[in-house]
Amino acid sequence: MTPAAAPILVVAEHAQGRIQPGSYAAIHLAWKIQRLHPAPVQVLLPGNDPRAAAAELARRTGLAVMAIQVPGPEPSTSDVAVDALWRYLVDHRPSFLCMASSTRGLECAPPLATRLEAAHVTGVVDVLAEGGAILMGRLGCANQEIHFLEALTPTVVLNPLPGAFDADMPTPSAPGPVAWHHGPRERQRIVSRGFLPAATDFGALAAAKVVVAAGNGVGERDNLTWIQRLAALWPQAAVGGSRTLCDRGWLSHDQQIGLSGATVAPALYVACGISGAPQHLAGMRGSGLVVAINTDPRAAIMREADVCIVEDLTRFIPVFLSLVEADKLEGQ
């Protein structure tokens, strides 16, 4: 009899009873692997008492969910979560272990990969089968190419690139089964000391009907004036931008659009000098008309855009503004 294939496991996350969206993307990655490498997909949900969240996850996905008790105070920290997951994994070694690229997922994946003696691949955007092997793809060459890697270990730990896999769940025919795994408390190496509200307020961006977003292509801080003047053409417009500009301090963090910033869905989104990294696209995909101004016609944002303007923004925007202003004067 052929031995059963080692399962494809997903480590999901929840906070205050809500499943984190990155967990669904990790499930989609697991399903994609399953289509190439048939094996059961099962979800592990660690937490202080994750049984209610596990039932919700089983209902949303139709998958078998193992609620893994993390002993100790809530919220649990990554070190005790790793110990609790390891107690399960030591007897249930997976072929693939998928976890979100969240703070928790990126903290837990390396120590679990080390204990499992597994290869660890982050930023996965695709998988494909070649010659009996599963290859993991991640972006290379300024996001213009996908670089495929083959793991040489029986277990592989994967973090999908945020935004690269769907986070919506199809409706399952029936809920999956839920089981409960618990073990003794181990030595805690870090403790939670509570929460403070974050200073960021994404309200203005989220409410805007028009968003003009600036990216690295603005070149110089002073060129943001062009972005502000462009936004000023519309009454309910807001200026946002890519993480690159927010990290540099040219825009504030509550102007960041994307996975780790605001999610916007304006009627018009004007991307100025933005390449269209998956983490940025994750925050603006719900926009209506998308206009991209970029010198590179092969930039990923061009595939998202309804109107592509292949031009230097510092040349295009001033000319556009002068034409609009001349038009206004004529209309008076």
Ligand X SMILES: Cc1cc2nc3c(=O)[nH]c(=O)nc-3n(C[C@H](O)[C@H](O)[C@H](O)COP(=O)(O)OP(=O)(O)OC[C@H]3O[C@@H](n4cnc5c(N)ncnc54)[C@H](O)[C@@H]3O)c2cc1C
Under the binding rule (CB under 6 A), the answer on residue 217 touching ligand X is: yes
How crowded is residue 319: how many other Cβ atoms within 10 Å of its Cβ? 10
Instruction: Report how many residues bind ligand X under the rule CB under 6 A.
Output: 30
DSSP 260: T
CB of 80 to ligand X, least distance (A): 24
Under the binding rule (CB under 6 A), the answer on residue 162 touching ligand X is: yes
Distance CA 212, CA 74 (A): 41
Of 23, 61, 69, 101, the one binding ligand X (CB under 6 A) is 101
CB of 39 to ligand X, least distance (A): 28
Q: Residues 208, 223: contact at Cβ < 8 Å?
A: no
Distance CA 173, CA 175 (A): 7
Region label for 219, one of left (φ > 0), alpha (ψ between -120 and 50) or beta (otherwise): left
- Write the binding mask 302 to 321 for ligand X: x where contact by CB under 6 A, - elsewhere: ----------xxx-------
**Segment 254 to 283, residues that bind ligand X, using CB under 6 A:** 256-261, 273-275, 277, 279-280, 283
Distance CA 181, CA 42 (A): 14
Under the binding rule (CB under 6 A), the answer on residue 287 touching ligand X is: no
Q: Which of 21, 23, 80, 87 is nearest to 47 (CA)?
A: 80
Structure tokens at 109: 């994946």
Tally of CA atoms within 13 A in the half-sphere of 10 that contains its CB? 32
Under the binding rule (CB under 6 A), the answer on residue 215 touching ligand X is: yes
Nearest residue (CB) to ligand X, 7 versus 258: 258
Nearest residue (CB) to ligand X, 126 versus 312: 312
Q: Residues 271, 301: contact at Cβ < 8 Å?
A: yes
CB of 277 to ligand X, least distance (A): 4
Question: Interface with ligand X by CB under 6 A: which range of 19-27, 60-68, 180-188, 250-258?
Answer: 250-258
Nearest residue (CB) to ligand X, 8 versus 238: 238
Nearest residue by C-beta to ligand X? 258
Question: Interface with ligand X by CB under 6 A: which range of 152-160, 177-185, 199-207, 211-219?
Answer: 211-219
Distance CA 61, CA 178 (A): 12
Q: Which of 79, 20, 72 is nearest to 45 (CA)?
A: 20
Q: Which residues bind ligand X (CB under 6 A)?
A: 101, 162, 215-217, 219, 242-244, 256-261, 273-275, 277, 279-280, 283, 293-296, 299, 312-314
